Amino acid sequence: MSGLTIWTYDWVPEGPRGFVRDLRLRWACEEACLGYAVRTIPFDGRATNHLAQQPFGQVPFLNDGGVDIFESGAGLLHLARKSENLMPRDPVGEAHTLQWTIAALNSIEMVTVPWWFLNMRGDGDNALSPWLSQRLDHLERVLSQQEWLAAGRFTVADLLMADVLRVSTVRAFGNRPATEAYVARATDRPSFRKAHADQIAHFEAADH
Amino acid sequence: MSGLTIWTYDWVPEGPRGFVRDLRLRWACEEACLGYAVRTIPFDGRATNHLAQQPFGQVPFLNDGGVDIFESGAGLLHLARKSENLMPRDPVGEAHTLQWTIAALNSIEMVTVPWWFLNMRGDGDNALSPWLSQRLDHLERVLSQQEWLAAGRFTVADLLMADVLRVSTVRAFGNRPATEAYVARATDRPSFRKAHADQIAHFEAADH
């Protein structure tokens, strides 16, 4: 036992199933062959109930023995330090994995999530669309030249970027074949499939 | 000499001076007592000229001997590995510094920058305002209980969070005294003042 515990909700509606971010940590643990337990906090009252554990009232958070850590991106980098499966150990490979992990969070997701937020409100062609288009075009250019983002191999940066990109509304925003193939390549990995199936089963079990 | 080079633009208009993100890396180097050189790429034609060095056409990027790294957040975490001034070395302190660094990028800046973007277009009370308000309220709650975000001391997470928050439009978005005091505390540090003055001087020199 590695002593890792991933915390998520006890239940969510059908819409977000398969997309709750505990999936990122499950997937990382599967790739790294790290054992983990899953524990839950109540979905009801989430806005105020667990602020002591997560100051923004969100999931997931990770417990690793004496260490509690929130923010899925931070949990991923914490896990990446434990396994070369997630991040190479040479200085250049490690730096490039780090930069693309941060790029997924701060150059791509910083645009995709607010854009999606406006889109869900019915404003599909919103003020953030040109920005999103430009960022996704830059990424398409990179992905048309290489299979993975860093170090010539799958890393935690790909895990995160693919999770950011696989939201269907974002994928529907323009035809970008290299990006589409990249998302398919990443989500076809056995570790993603297991993590995804486990999350779906976790929330389905709570329906009964 | 540490062999560190921070890359930024040769010139920017007056508006962004003092806010270009090379300031984050300058500030971190000052806090860590790491020597560094500053080199420039042309501001004109930035959208396409340096895509080979930075796939989103942005600054800064950092060179550390044989390692090139873009994304200011990644540069900060790279520098934090070099100096305990930026990140404590005990596992809990390091994990909490990491989580708050990612929180600054992915829970706060992911809302402040798109909100600011819509605000700058004249839509001050925009669709992202409730989300921004909630995130800033959560942070205000944390900062009303502690001086710094992680490990009971200033870390790279505070450097980043304060830089994210000091944008005047975001600070004008509601009265949050603990957050205001926190930004003042961070930006009153000699290392911030030097980095800020150096950036202003750098761009002013290019006017002549």
Task: Give the one of B66, B73, B118 whose C-beta lies nearest to A92's C-beta.
Answer: B66
Half-sphere exposure of B7 (CA within 13 A, CB side): 20
Residue A82 confidence class, pLDDT cut points 50, 70, 90: very high
Report pLDDT for A174.
86
**Contact across the interface for A55 and B106, Cβ inside 8 Å:** no
Interface test with A, best of B102, B110, B148 (most A CBs within 10 A): B102
User: pTM score, two decimals?
Assistant: 0.96
- Considering only the beta carbons, identify the residue of B70, B95, B131 that sits closest to A78: B95
Kindly report the backbone phi and psi dihedral angles of residue B17, in degrees, each rounded to the nearest multiple of 5, phi listed first: -60, 135
On whether both A18 and A48 belong to a single domain, the answer is: yes
* CA–CA dist A193, A149 (Å, integer): 21
Residues near A95 by Cβ (< 8 Å), separated by ≥ 6?
Answer: B64, B67, B68, B69, B74, B78
What CATH number did the domain enclosing B164 receive? 1.20.1050.10
B contact residues 145-204, partner A, Cβ 8 Å cutoff? none
Instruction: Report the CATH number that the domain containing residue A65 is assigned in CATH.
Output: 3.40.30.10
d(CA B165, CA B179): 8
Same domain for B110 and B35?
no
Q: Are both A106 and A138 inside the same structural domain?
A: yes
* Pair (A62, A100) in one structural domain: no
pLDDT confidence band for A1 (50 / 70 / 90): very low
Please give the pLDDT value at position B106. Answer: 97
Least confident segment among A119-128, A147-156, A189-198, B195-204: A119-128
**A9 with A38, same domain?**
yes
Q: Find residue B150's DSSP bridge partners.
A: B153
Q: Do B109 and B163 fall within a single domain? A: yes
Hey, are the CB atoms on A67 and B95 less than 8 Å from each other?
yes
Nearest to B75 by CA among B88, B86, B91: B86
Q: Which of A78, A107, A99 is nearest to A151 (CA)?
A: A99
CB atoms near residue A38 (< 10 Å):
16
Same domain, B59 and B142: no
Distance from CA of A8 to the nearest CA of B (A): 17
User: Is residue B98 located within the same domain as residue B183?
Assistant: yes
8 Å CB contact between B88 and B155: yes
β strands within chain B, DSSP E: 4-9, 36-41, 61-64, 67-70
Tokens 């000052």 map to which residue? B30
Angstrom distance (rounded) from CA B160 to CA A101:
17
Q: How close B108 comes to chain A (CA, Å)?
A: 10
Question: Contact A98/B67, CB-based, under 8 Å?
Answer: no
- A118 interface with B at CB cutoff 8 Å: yes
Looking at the complex, does the CB of residue A51 fall below 8 Å from at least one CB of chain B?
yes
% of chain A beyond a pLDDT of 70:
99
For residue B59, the 8-state DSSP code is: S
With contacts defined as CB-CB under 8 Å, which chain A residues touch B118?
127-128
Cβ(B41)–Cβ(B54) under 8 Å? no
Same domain, B65 and B154: no
The model's pLDDT over B4-52, given as tens digits with 9 standing for 90+, comes to 999 999 999 999 999 999 999 999 999 999 999 999 999 988 877 777 7
For residue A115, what are the contacts with CB-CB under 8 A and spacing of at least 6?
Answer: A126, A128, A129, A131, A132, A170, A173, B114
Q: Is the pLDDT of residue A169 over 50?
A: yes
**For chain A, how many structural domains are there in total?**
2
Q: What angle do CA B58, B59, B63 make, to 5 degrees?
A: 125
Same domain, A62 and A130: no
Average pLDDT in the A159-172 region?
93
**pLDDT averages per 10-residue partition of chain B, 208 residues:** 87 96 98 97 82 83 95 98 97 97 97 93 86 95 97 98 94 91 98 98 92
Q: pLDDT tens-digit profile of A28-64?
A: 999 999 999 999 999 988 877 777 778 888 899 999 9
B137 touches chain A (CB under 8 A): no
Q: Mean of the pLDDT values across residues A140-154?
A: 97
A68 in contact with B, Cβ within 8 Å? yes
Q: Which of A148-157, A173-182, B44-53, B78-87 has the lowest mean pLDDT?
A: B44-53
User: Cβ–Cβ of B110/A107 closer than 8 Å?
Assistant: no
Is it true that the peptide bond before A13 is cis, omega within 30 degrees of 0? Answer: no
Distance of alpha carbon B134 from alpha carbon B176, whole angstroms: 12
Q: Are strands B36-41 and B4-9 parallel, antiparallel or unpaired?
A: parallel
Residue linked to tokens 């709650």:
B141
Answer yes or no: are the C-beta atoms of A105 and A161 closer than 8 Å.
Answer: no
Task: For residues B160 and B201, state if they share a domain.
Answer: no
pLDDT of residue A54: 83
Find the domain containing B95 and state its range: 91-188
Q: Are residues A41 and A103 in the same domain?
A: no
Q: Measure A98 CA to nearest chain B CA, in Å.
A: 6
**Could you give the CA distance from residue A3 to residue B186 in angstroms, rounded to a whole number?**
36
